[in-house]
Structure 1
Amino acid sequence: MTLWRWLLLLAVVAALAAFGWHWVAEDPGYVLVKLRGYTVESTVVAAVLAVIVIVALINALWRMARWPFGALSRRHRRSSRQRLTAGLLALMEGRNGDAERDLQRAARLDSLRGPALLAAAEAASRRGEQSRALETLDEAAQIAPQAARVLRARFLRREGRAAEALALLAPEADSGSLTPGGWREFALAAVATSDFRRARQALDPLQKNAVVGPRAYAALESQVLVGSLLAAPDAASLNSLWSQLPKTQRRVSTAVDAYARRAAGFGMMLPAMDEVESALRREWSSQLVGTYGSLSGDDEGRLRRVEGWLDAHPNDASLLLTLGRMCVRIKLWGKARKYLERALALEPSSAIWEALGDVYVGDGDNVQAQRCYRNALALARGEAAQLAPHELRGPLDTRPVAIEERSEHGVPRLRE
């Protein structure tokens, strides 16, 4: 397509040149110049060409005359660019003293002054020279005020003065003029000060501007949502916050988990169960399964539902622990022991040993219960368990349960 455009343009230029030549050939015009007894006669075309040539010659002579005087400035520019390059490389290599020296020298060139001073301030901060870093930022703020403000907020946050960093960026955040990097610093400072309302304010700009990668954004979003939900002072505030969150944020598994736990703390068991069940229907999460098991209420009815999940996730230790805890609450000691021993065979943990201890207490075997509790305490301390699962009731089948494979239509596949 570009080639055809060039060909069309050349054809148009050729046609205009042809018509122009014929128009000039019919009447080339006449120019007469008299100066101090000298007379010059010419056509208009020749006079225009002569003027163009004279201007070009004057320009060339002027450049030649200026060349010696510009040699020093060219050397200064070349040297400054080299120092900027060397300073940035030294900064990346951790040679912060060399970096600061080279970058300060590079800042003598006006066109490089802004970025060189910002990088020099970073080098000074890495050396622990905070006062010098802030002084350098004051100079950089005269050229690049927004970048200097963001970098100053970063320095304050690194020093543990997140509240000052948040106050520094808040005016621009409220007006919506904050730079992408500023939104990141604003969010981190808000999280550090537990100002989760401000942190939620930064999530949308961070996502739109792709300031961080998908994984880093997901981690930050999860941290902000969990902190916001757990900080809700009462049930009304929690429900109001949850209803105001966008649909995509209400589907984050960690946010659902935080909401369910906080709602359960306020006695709202049914809303907590509904949110967890909806989330598990969308996407399986061992964390949410554990949370679901910790919720109390109608354990007999929920037990059948959770046992149905076992068909699709037979090797999930969290699911087995949840089943064991629910069986303990309704005093199904034999079934609880089967689930918990299976969970220990797959993935031993302090919580599973503790739940198994509750089983033996309910079954009247205090000796075994004490052994289980000792194991739970040992694992919680990071020590080795003193009792193996098979020592409780004999050898256990520790082979993973085979997961049934199904097609996209739900039809079981035959194994080869």
Structure 2
Amino acid sequence: MWRALAFLALLALAAFGAVWIADRPGTVTVVWNGYQIGTSLAVALVGVIAAAIVLGVLWAIVRGVIGLPEALVRGSAERRRAKGLSALSRGMVAVGSGDPLAARRFAGDAERLLGTEPLTLLLKAQAAQISGDRDAAESAFQRMVDDPETRVLGLRGLFVEARRREDETAARAYATEAARLAPSVTWANEALLEAQSADGDWAAALETIERRSSLGLIDKATARRQRAVLLTAIAGEREAGEPELAAERILQAVKLAPDLVPAACIAGRLLARRGDVKKAARIVEAAWKANPHPDLAKVYLGLRPGDSVRDRLARAEVLAKLSVWDPESRLALGQAALDARDYKRAREAVKPLLTDRPTARACLMMAAIEEAEHGAASGQAREWLARAARAPRDRVWIADGIATETWAPVSPVTGRLDAFTWREPPNTLAAAPAVEPEAESTAPALVPAATRPSAPVPGSVAPSASALSSASASAPVATGPGTPVPVPTVLPAKAASAKTAGADPVSAGMAAAALPPGSADRAVRRMG
């Protein structure tokens, strides 16, 4: 639009000039070398304009002839660059699609056509990576490091290659240099934080987190959580030798992350040690509401070392009210009731956990209750112990495939900060299936010889044949290299009129051996 308006304006100006000259006629006379040439003003102007146009055309022709070689060279370079950019683009596509042959071919074409441009070196390095040629990849990345424009990118590539060959020293050096050259590079800051955390250099790790937070590389919530984890690590190391410094650090951690279980546990112990029981209780209760945990229950129940078992039971009831439906509340209450010898209350607390796939801790709790009330020879206690061996595993601290009962600030595998989470193991075992009564049979039962005692043990009762046959018929015999295969022994089966209740294949033999005298032939009842 603006061009059209400008053209119309120039056209109007030319028309106005022509009219103005026509209204003011005149003559132009040129005297040169004895000749006199005269013409009108309009014709003279037309001649001047025509001469200017001719001279301009001649000058353009001369310039074109003079600049022809340069134009040819420039055109060839542009075509070469266009081909190089096309090869570079196709090479990137080949790298993304995982085609090493095409990637290497296009990388060679791009390097031949474009030279040592940053993207060309990057394509060459990536083509070598997907081809498995680590030496060529490192060579390309090293060439990038030598160029100031691509130094950080080259350090990134060398860092990745060092990690692949498990050279943590070199990887740390590359990350440190990259963080020095470009403080806002995310990967270098993360790698530096992992290295500092793995070394236990908590002060340097705190500085790194502060820098990342100030640069906006992590959000505020993540920064607060990571600071709390590092402060908890410092307090954990100083808890025994420097309790005052540990208390200062752990209170900062609790303020940053009130739901961090290890921080609340350490804070509870330190505050209780110096007599501030109320503050310790508030901290533990706040963490318990967010994340019920057995360590929190242990700290909470032991805030006053001189409390009686009834006082501890009252504290357990407070925890149970804070998180009514959580299994940890019931287990803590059951343990406190067991310590107080209130077996009825202990059973009532644990009973809801037994309805659907009770975990190992719930089974062990029931076994402890039965043993405390009825003695170590209780068949039900042994039954619960057997069920605990096959029950689903309870939650533990898990990080990078490592499961442990003790929390740690960093992963022992990768050095990642705040890696441990409290959850069930991924390979949780299924609960022991309910055992139905066995069908009547008149056929002889085969029992492995290894399960048949060669001689009665003094002071013990030999298991009955029905218990042995039930155990052998249900439980497989483990064999392996170096393990002798037991020879089956034929025992007479029960008569058809004698009905035998089914027993748990794992615990039948154990329970039969623990039965009181005179009841060896009684069937073992499975607790549900």
Distance change >3 Å, CA 221–CA 131, structure 1 → 2: farther
State the AA in 2 paired with 1:150: R
Q: How many residues align?
A: 356
Aligned to 1:410: none
Deviation at residue 102 of structure 1 after TM alignment: 2.7
Aligned with 1:340 (options 326, 350, 368): 350
1:103–1:116 Cα contact (<8 Å) kept: yes
**How high is the sequence identity, in percent, across the aligned residues?**
17
Aligned to 1:78: 82
Aligned with 1:361 (options 358, 367, 371): 371
Q: Distance in 2 between matches of 1:70 and 1:347?
A: 79
Deviation at residue 338 of structure 1 after TM alignment: 2.0
Q: Distance in 1 between matches of 2:338 and 2:63?
A: 96
Aligned to 1:377: 389
Q: Which has the higher contact order (CA 8 A, sep 6+)?
A: 2
What is the root-mean-square deviation of aligned Cα atoms in Å? Answer: 5.0
Distance change >3 Å, CA 239–CA 265, structure 1 → 2: closer
Q: Distance in 2 between matches of 1:109 and 1:60?
A: 30
Q: Which has the larger radius of gyration?
A: 2
Per-residue CA deviation, residues 28-66 of structure 1 (Å, 9 max, x unaligned), is xxxxxxxx99xxx98xxx9xx99xx99x97999599875
Unaligned runs of 5+ in 2: 18-31, 34-43, 304-311, 394-426, 436-503, 505-523
Aligned to 1:203: 209
Q: Where do 4+ consecutive residues of structure 1 move more than 6 Å?
A: 56-60, 62-65, 220-224, 264-267, 391-396
State the AA in 1 paired with 2:74: G
User: Does the alignment pair 1:250 with 2:257?
Assistant: yes
Tell me the SS of whatever aligns to 1:144: helix
Q: Distance in 2 between matches of 1:100 and 1:239?
A: 59
Per-residue CA deviation, residues 256-292 of structure 1 (Å, 9 max, x unaligned), is 21224456787967576543322345xx32xx34332
Aligned to 1:414: none
Q: Distance in 2 between matches of 1:280 and 1:386?
A: 31
Deviation at residue 201 of structure 1 after TM alignment: 3.6
Aligned with 2:318 (options 305, 329, 336): 305
Aligned to 1:68: 72
1:124–1:130 Cα contact (<8 Å) kept: yes
State the AA in 2 paired with 1:351: R
2:81–2:114 Cα contact (<8 Å) kept: no
Distance change >3 Å, CA 80–CA 174, structure 1 → 2: closer
Distance change >3 Å, CA 83–CA 317, structure 1 → 2: farther
1:323–1:339 Cα contact (<8 Å) kept: yes
Distance change >3 Å, CA 167–CA 386, structure 1 → 2: same
Q: Distance in 2 between matches of 1:151 and 1:145?
A: 10
Q: Distance in 1 between matches of 2:62 and 2:272?
A: 84
Aligned with 1:185 (options 191, 200, 215): 191
Q: Distance in 2 between matches of 1:58 and 1:356?
A: 105
State the AA in 2 paired with 1:160: E
Aligned to 1:403: none
Aligned to 1:330: 340
Q: Distance in 2 between matches of 1:151 and 1:157?
A: 10
Per-residue CA deviation, residues 369-409 of structure 1 (Å, 9 max, x unaligned), is 222222223335955544769x999997xxxxxxxxxxxxx
Deviation at residue 192 of structure 1 after TM alignment: 4.9
Aligned to 2:141: 137
Deviation at residue 144 of structure 1 after TM alignment: 0.8
Q: Distance in 2 between matches of 1:113 and 1:72?
A: 18
